[in-house]
Chains A and B, each alone.
Chain A
């Protein structure tokens, strides 16, 4: 039995069902991300686990015990909020000690735990500061220490990096993951940032319109998206409509050009997907299938140049490394794009 189990969870606000038959099993010590666009229900699921929202139906079990009827303060769940939510009237040390004081932990033990937590987050010297004297990144570290101090069974992170600037966000997500792994605490992380979800998580749940569209490892989610939504939401994806010529060999026609996928596909019309990095400009070993197209856009992204070419009725994006010895293509240029048939994904609905 998994440590945290969510079964057939549903939540409606009036006539609107925001979470529909949501199921998830989380192993002890696992780091799970709920990834999805705004309004997909990911925060609502998190808030139901925390106890801030009451499910319309379904079960939430932690360590085998049903917690649906427990109040938030009875669940022993730590939570970190997007807006930090540090108590402005308390110092950093008092904030971290808050949960311990509420739990009746004695002073000596509490002081020891506060020092331990502040060392863990790398701010041992800031115990006497007030929240307003800290930067956003420091405040969020303190919020993490405060959530971890009472040793919760589950840690919930509600978009904790969204309010921070890009550089801090990257360094803090690495720190958070390292701390989570060191403590081995079961964690659910809500984000709309795919890079955060893919880089931090053991598994990712991609949510769409209240449903878990796909649950899998970051590699699975990226390389083998189960639905069109997942394929589009996670990373950039070229979507091409194809007519199947021979279902048994996977021979299909895209924009009037025939290519072979090298595996059986359903007959009729199918949708194929491909990541920009799976398509090369010109011939390349291992990518024998060639598509003829015309360059429509070229974008310089630093280490990578992203080009777009029209292939029949579709527009295909492709990436090439920024190589000083090779000039990027020009808009209007006729080009040949190569792709490996097995890299093309057949996308379901």
Chain B
């Protein structure tokens, strides 16, 4: 590679990094200015000590875990079955899983409210549990493109058909095959999907706000509208959570023993 090409590459990389990190640095710097004249962690202390922060964050974490469980239960068997028995259906399933990227969350939530309101045939919004469940369904839908792609990519790295037949010849039924052969072998992919789902659920606003659930997204919006420094501290926290999720994906991939052969 010529010196010119190398230099250009470095310049483009540095420009990209500055473009991305400078606003973040500004954001972080401003979040430390709660106390006049000195840098302090006051905004962070206030936020973390806020009972509403703890409640909404805790609620969103629980919702994220429920969403991940629902996503895994829905996506892993579907992607497995499509790959094993219905390869012709793959483009259709991929299209369906991509729909949440083009249909706004507000359309989904209005659809939910119209279908499942208190005067409908299935009044899910009539109870807290029902509404929570509806929110989890909504989150699962929003995370579907990421979860499906992650799992499908994972399935692509193993010989699904032969492993399934090997397990069947050893007496295993579908549940054993899925839980002890397929899932452990796409665990890294599932975890990638799970961390992305976690990041989406933690920051999601529309579904939670319109279903009136005490989630972290609406809390972020409320704080942003009413406080000077805390929203910036919160944004930094939200970024940190997302990065931790990304880091965990890398970590899991690196330390996954049995996938070494495939890579």
- Chain B: interface secondary structure? helix
Q: Which residues of B contact A (CB under 8 A)?
A: 158-159, 162-163, 165-173, 176, 180-181, 184-185, 187, 257-262
Q: Given A87-B181, A130-B257, A132-B258, is A102 in contact with B165 using a C-beta cutoff of 8 Å?
A: no
Task: Say whether B171 contacts A147, CB under 8 Å.
Answer: no
Closest to A77 in B: B169
Task: Say whether A150 contacts B171, CB under 8 Å.
Answer: yes
Q: Tell whether A83 is near chain B: CB-to-CB under 8 Å.
A: yes
Give the contact-size bracket for chain A: 20 to 34
Set of chain B residues within 8 Å of A98, measured between Cβ atoms: 167, 170, 172, 180
Closest to B262 in A: A88
Task: Say whether A79 contacts B257, CB under 8 Å.
Answer: no
A136 to B163, CA, bound (A): 16
Task: Say whether A87 contacts B176, CB under 8 Å.
Answer: no
Chain B CB within 10 Å — which of A89, A102, A103 has the most? A89
Task: Say whether B171 contacts A99, CB under 8 Å.
Answer: yes
Q: Which of B159, B168, B184, B259 has a CB less than 8 Å from the CB of A73? A: B168
Set of chain B residues within 8 Å of A156, measured between Cβ atoms: 169
Q: Tell whether A52 is near chain B: CB-to-CB under 8 Å.
A: yes
Closest to B259 in A: A88
Shortest distance from the beta carbon of A76 to any chain B beta carbon, whole Å: 7
Q: Tell whether A72 is near chain B: CB-to-CB under 8 Å.
A: yes
Set of chain A residues within 8 Å of B159, measured between Cβ atoms: 83, 85
Task: Say whether B170 contacts A99, CB under 8 Å.
Answer: yes
Given A102-B176, A150-B171, 14 new contacts (CB under 8 A): A51-B168, A76-B171, A79-B165, A81-B166, A85-B166, A87-B163, A87-B181, A87-B185, A88-B259, A88-B262, A98-B167, A98-B180, A103-B171, A156-B169
Q: Tell whether A78 is near chain B: CB-to-CB under 8 Å.
A: yes
Task: Say whether A88 contacts B261, CB under 8 Å.
Answer: yes
Task: Say whether A89 contacts B171, CB under 8 Å.
Answer: no
Flag A66-81 by CB within 8 Å of B: 1 or 0 each: 0000011110111101
19 inter-chain pairs at a CB distance below 8 angstroms, sorted by A residue, are A51-B168, A72-B168, A73-B168, A74-B171, A76-B171, A78-B169, A81-B166, A83-B159, A85-B162, A87-B166, A87-B167, A88-B158, A89-B181, A89-B185, A98-B172, A102-B171, A103-B171, A131-B261, A143-B166
Task: Say whether B170 contacts A52, CB under 8 Å.
Answer: no
A252 to B219, CA, bound (A): 101
Q: Tell whether A146 is near chain B: CB-to-CB under 8 Å.
A: yes
Closest to A78 in B: B169
Set of chain B residues within 8 Å of A204, measured between Cβ atoms: none
Task: Say whether A81 contacts B171, CB under 8 Å.
Answer: no
Q: Tell whether A50 is near chain B: CB-to-CB under 8 Å.
A: yes
Task: Tell me which residues from 20 to 61 in chain A have a Cβ below 8 Å from any Cβ of chain B.
Answer: 50-52
